[in-house]
Homo-oligomer: A and B are copies of this chain.
Amino acid sequence: MSGSELELLRRIRLRAGDAGGGRGGLRLGIGDDCALLRVKPGEEIAITTDLSIDGRHFEILTHPPEAIGHRTIARGLSDLAAMGARPIAAFLSLGLPARLTVSRGKGRTWIERFYDGLLSVAEANETPLAGGDLAATPLAVADIVLVGTVAKGRALLRCGAGPGDSIYVTGALGGAAVGFRQLTAIARKQSGRQVRIPKRLEALLRPHLYPQPRIPQGLWLRSRGIATAGIDISDGLSTDVAHLCEESGVAAELEAAAIPIAPGATLEEALHGGEDYELLFTAGPGARVPRRLRGVSVSRIGRIMPRRTGSPMVALRTQDQVQALMPQGWEHFSR
């Protein structure tokens, strides 16, 4: 390992282990062949991995490095939230062009700013960075692994929804799509250089640049045991409702008027936008679902129906009609 890489790893290592505050299950972090984690009796482990790639999940020239770090770990935490799991450790495999690890003048390096964004979210969610890998690559890639714990047999799965259940969503939808649309417009104007975000647009861009994983809401739902199924909205509402219906063997009808639309977003963006990282969950007819959960609104947006051949798996009810809602969110090999 080169001197600069060792120095970089030393700095990351110093900060990374602190995030858990010693409360989690991490027993051995960065520095050996593996990290070691402990779980309490009665708990099981939830693991998820998410790959983020320059030009696909982010753009080096468009996104601030802090936002890329933030989004990288938020994706993984959101998967834990969807299961109702409590994060105990994160692992990051990072491939970067060497120029992003080198300091130019007095400014902080790209990689330092990336870790700032990532570790801020890790710290806010009490998740130590326990290990990972680092390599020089022509294309920037970041694969995040999140490990969480959940009471045995109590994880919120995609497959538990039944006819008669109501469908709920946290927060508002389409905000990430609005932010992405705005950011793309700014990038086009400032083409070729690292994008500078005007102050007046910061709030509008925030849902895209700095999405908040719904860990507290997921933990609440799991601990109360009222949700029958859950998923996070990463690919877009239309796609993620379809995933949930597919795994549960049911159909869904959404009410257009009930869908919480983020400021500046259209209904289309709320339906298909993706990357909002809100929680979508179902609960039985008798369940008491609060209007707010740990500071975030909760909306009832539709209901689960029996699956019938010839009928759409997901339908959207508007004032005039009920029509099939086709999944139009993120498709990994098609865009």
Contacting chain B: which of A76-84, A174-182, A267-275?
Answer: A76-84
How far, in angstroms, from A56 to B134 measured CA to CA in the complex?
A: 12
Q: Is the CB of B91 within 8 A of A5?
A: no
By a CB distance below 8 angstroms, the chain B residues around A146 are: 34
A59 to chain B, nearest CB (A): 13
Return the contact of A135 from the options B2, B45, B51 (Cβ within 8 A).
Answer: B51
Q: Is the CB of B157 within 8 A of A49?
A: no
Contacting chain B: which of A11-19, A25-33, A192-200, A296-304?
Answer: A25-33
Q: Is A55 an interface residue (CB 8 A)?
A: yes
Q: Is the CB of B331 within 8 A of A33?
A: no
How far, in angstroms, from A56 to B44 measured CA to CA in the complex?
A: 36
Contacting chain B: which of A93-101, A113-121, A256-264, A285-293?
Answer: A93-101
For A91, give the chain B residue with the smallest CB separation. B49
- Digitize A98-135: 1 where CB-to-B-CB distance is under 8 Å, 0 elsewhere: 10010000000000000000000000000000111111
Q: Is A255 an interface residue (CB 8 A)?
A: no
Q: Is the CB of A38 within 8 A of B33?
A: no
Copy number of this protein in the oligomer?
A: 2
- Beyond A38-B44, A135-B51, A138-B139, is A145–B91 a contact (Cβ under 8 Å)? yes
- Beyond A33-B231, A95-B51, is A135–B332 a contact (Cβ under 8 Å)? yes
By a CB distance below 8 angstroms, the chain B residues around A82 are: 33-34
A126 to chain B, nearest CB (A): 18
- Beyond A31-B247, A139-B137, is A131–B231 a contact (Cβ under 8 Å)? no
By a CB distance below 8 angstroms, the chain B residues around A334 are: 1-2, 5
**Residues of A in contact, count (CB < 8 Å):** 72
Contacting chain B: which of A147-155, A162-170, A204-212, A306-314?
Answer: A147-155
For A230, give the chain B residue with the smallest CB separation. B33
Q: Is A185 an interface residue (CB 8 A)?
A: no
- Beyond A41-B41, A93-B143, A331-B5, is A46–B56 a contact (Cβ under 8 Å)? no
Which A residues fall within an 8 A CB radius of B? 1-2, 4-5, 27-28, 31-39, 41, 44-51, 53, 55-57, 79-80, 82-83, 85, 89, 91-95, 98, 101, 130-139, 141, 143, 145-148, 150, 152, 155, 157-159, 230-232, 239, 247, 331-334
For A141, give the chain B residue with the smallest CB separation. B141
- Beyond A27-B44, A39-B45, is A137–B56 a contact (Cβ under 8 Å)? yes
